[in-house]
Amino acid sequence: MPYFGSSIYYETQGFESSKPVVAFLNGTLQNTVYWKTHGMALKDRFRVLMYDARAQGKSDLGKGELSLEGHTEDFSELLKHLRVEKTHLIGLSHGAKVAFACAVYLPECVDRLVLCSVGARQTCRARLILKSWLEILRRSDLETLAWVSLPVAFGENFLHQNQKILGNIVKAMVRRNKKQSLIAHLEAMTAYPSLSQIAQNVHGPILVLSGSDDLLVKKSDAGQLAMICNGRHDHFTGIGHSIPAEAPELFNKTILQFLDRT
């Protein structure tokens, strides 16, 4: 299994070609497995990079405090290791925040941005959910947190249609995460600046995606983020926070159209 630096885990598809690169950045509780089918959908047109950020999935927590700047430094070093000069970034939730920070601190490395399920500011509800997840982990275990996270991570339609496999989703979350790493990840997120605070020098091409059933991100905040960056905002009805998982075909079609534009 390929690792880089301080045990940062990554996977690639199609890197034997000279096609443009697309990098996928994980949300909280996710790892590279989340992006496998989306990588397959893009591999005919792009080289695909998937990686677990520090404290996620198969990557170690490492030393020092986690931060947006630290994640961008890790990603920059990974790109250098792979000899990639520029990449499109596709991030979900926490991964979208890291992708946005890369556009701020590493503009020379970033081409197009697809930001899923983030807004210009963090709502009071989102801050409270984050705090409650931390308290659950400190007082209980990963399985309890995984069950509590389901109605936040997914919209009503997805939950209704996949009732029989929710237990398997929980088991996968538990298997792919480490309690102490996840605590450090969530604690770091409480100190992240709002994206509007660091957005001054970020400009398109940017696509912001939001879902009507997302409890963490308001449509207006996603739209404001796109407006600040002179980007585009697409809002999907009947979809929650996990847009790529809940509507994979729509997601792939939307991002391919966006990335293929000249």
What local confidence, expressed as pLDDT, does residue 66 receive?
93
- Decide if pLDDT at 200 tops 80: no
Q: How far is CA 97 from CA 22, 193, 195, 208, in A?
A: 16, 10, 7, 12
**How much is the pLDDT for 67?**
95
For the four alpha carbons of 114, 38, 21 and 188, in that order, the dihedral sign comes to positive
> Can you state the angle between helices 142-153 and 124-139, rounded to 10 degrees?
160
pLDDT at 2: 86
Domains of the chain are 3-260 (3.40.50.1820)
Which tens digit of pLDDT belongs to each residue from 150-162? 999 999 999 999 9
pLDDT score for 202: 83
* Percentage above 70 pLDDT, the chain: 99
Residues 87-101: tens digit of each pLDDT: 999 999 999 999 999
Reported as a single tens digit per residue, the pLDDT across 8-27 is 999 999 898 889 999 999 99
Q: What is the pLDDT of residue 62?
A: 82
Band (145; pLDDT cuts 50, 70, 90): very high
**What is the C-alpha to C-alpha distance for residues 53 and 27, in angstroms, rounded to an integer?**
10
- The closest alpha carbon to 182, from 6, 22, 29, 24, belongs to 29
Considering the chain, what is the average pLDDT of its residues? 95
Q: Does residue 5 surpass a pLDDT of 80?
A: no
pTM comes to 0.95
**What pLDDT is recorded for position 6?**
63
Look at residue 1 and tell me whether its pLDDT is greater than 70: no
Mean pLDDT value across residues 161-183: 97
Does residue 262 surpass a pLDDT of 60?
Answer: no
pLDDT at 157: 98
| Neighbour count for residue 30 (Cβ, 10 Å) | 27
pLDDT confidence bin for 64, thresholds 50/70/90: confident
Mean pLDDT of 136-142: 97
pLDDT band for position 125 (cuts 50, 70, 90): very high
pLDDT class for 31, splitting at 50, 70, 90? Answer: very high
